[in-house]
Amino acid sequence: MHRRNLLKITALSSVLLLKGSSNLISQTNILSNIKPKSLKKGDKVALVSPASNVTDLMDVYRAQEICDNLGLSTILPKSIVKTASGYKTRSAEERIDELHKAFADKSIKGIFCIRGGFGSAELLDKLDYDLIKRNPKIICGYSDITALLTGINKKTGLVTFHSPVLLSNFDEITFDSFKKILFENSAYGEIKNPSSEKIRENHPTISINEGKATGELIGGNLSLITSLIGTPYQIDTDGKILFIEDVGEAPYKLERMLTQMRMAGMLDKLKGVVIGKCDDCSAGNSQSSWDRSELEVYNYIFASMDYPVFYGLLIGHTSTQFTIPIGIKAELDSENGSLNILESAVI
């Protein structure tokens, strides 16, 4: 172990000497994590839609329903429902203004995304990160919202939350996970799929590389993570536990994205990987003899790595969905198929 670490340090030193002082600056410019304040009943939260627009009043009702059950008061920007033809009817400027007002308003304690869709990445180079850092508060969502969660975490150090959006299924497990992480100032503890108590598990997890590892959590939707490679908003993976999820992607597309991450050096120095259950990620009738299956892709990419990896945790596009805090320390146990959140994500 000591020898391997020494080799990594030596290799890093060589890279820094070759690339000059700019890399030295980036290595020392690491932000400390900022935890937002916990929520409590009666708090005011902003319902936002920074990706695709919400054009159906029933969706607004369904979003409000979740907040009512949490005992929260809500603010809904008028621009969300003023039109009925999708995200293009709301300019980037409107969506940026919506987020900036939510962060600047001292009475607002949290920012909940109603839905994902498309368009969040467009906002990253327009956000006022100093404003966000001065006014840290809960912001949560998933899917396309990954761009905001990882971008804000990287640029400000704010802990963000990969969670259901307000139009998600919100079964009892999903609701309890969401509420506990956002409302309780204590370590969440173990996140593990529910047991079906049948001969076959409904939600099995599969260990690809056995072992345990501890590190800070980073990740989200795989498509969004790879779309930001080469930009200032590319996630930092060194020494982290990476969690990824996606939906409706054929195995060859998953392999292509993970290969891009591998070639960008983003898989080299991880502590471990959690892969979320991927619905509709089979090749279907189009699978050719040269195609790998979904699990064969993960085995091909990760089996030679020296850190633990497992597949199947219910995060992302699944009917049951755990909330995962980005920037918080956790322990991964691939044989147990679990993540143990080791510290509170809020203060």
Catalytic residues: 143, 245, 317
- CA-based nearest residue to 81, from 115, 116, 54, 50: 54
Number of helices (H), then strands (E), in the chain? 10, 14
| Residue 156, C-beta contacts closer than 8 angstroms, at least 6 positions apart | 31, 34, 129, 132, 133, 136
Length of the chain: 347
Residues 6+ away with beta carbon under 8 Å from 209: 302, 303, 305, 306, 307, 308, 309, 310, 334
Contacts 24+ apart (CB under 8 A), 8-15: 8/269
* CA-to-CA dists, residue 295 to 80, 255, 287, 307, 339, angstroms: 39, 10, 14, 17, 20
Q: 266 vs 122, 138, 237, 257, 271, CA distance in Å?
A: 23, 27, 6, 11, 11
